[in-house]
Amino acid sequence: MDVDRTPTYLYNDYIGDTTTDDGGDNMISKNPNELHGKIFELRKLNGYTQQYVADYLDIDKSTYAHYEAGRRTPDVKKLKKLAELYNLEDELLGSTFPIEASAIYPIEMLDNLQEVINECKPHSGDYYADNIEFKKLREALKPIMQIRDEALDLPDIKICDLPSNTTVKRVYLDMRAESLIKRCLDKQSEVMNWK
């Protein structure tokens, strides 16, 4: 007796979306915009069986079937292996590694910091006068540090789940800004006579 392997579309209340019966016991989401839909489509496009992909990931076929059905989500290591298998460089994660960022400062902001540093009076021994100079430096530096901190901030991922030697983020810093930051911090120490 021949078994009809033509996909039939069913509504599955458990998953809550239209799914495809792939001829086996597995209910597969046909939504290619969701992770489980992406890995299903990639497997089909490449002509792989669930068993082949499961073996590649070093997991049981049933675990992989749960990934495709959307009942389980692969961890970051498995996503990286899937990206390797399909030659995607981590596109399954929603972003590529390394994530690239640049600290871009408005010129006026840097000019203002440079001006405040240049106009800052040296340590006078008068706590109140020195404190005023210190606060001017701090206020001019604050928006620059906010931009820098945002650029250096790590994404909300479990870094411990990534393979060792993975570059997660590459940040391009403005050399003028970095020089001014150092000068400002040194000037603050000088004004307050911190040694």
The Cα 71–Cα 25 span in angstroms is: 14
Residues 63 and 136 in one domain: no
Last residue of a domain, one of 37, 57, 88: 88
Say yes or no: 103 and 82 in one domain.
Answer: no
Q: What is the mean pLDDT of residues 108-124?
A: 97
Give pLDDT, residue 68. 86
With residue 9 as reference, give the H or E element that holds it: strand 8-12
Can you give the residue range of the structural domain that contains 128?
99-191
- The Cα 147–Cα 153 span in angstroms is 10
State both tokens at 8. Answer: 């039939």
Average pLDDT, the chain: 78
- Is residue 177 assigned to a domain? yes
The pLDDT assigned to 193 comes to: 92
Instruction: Say what angle helices 50-57 and 76-85 make with each other, to 10 degrees.
Output: 120
Per-residue pLDDT, averaged over 134-145, amounts to: 97
Model confidence, pTM: 0.52
Q: What is the mean pLDDT of residues 178-186?
A: 97
Residue 164 pLDDT more than 80?
no
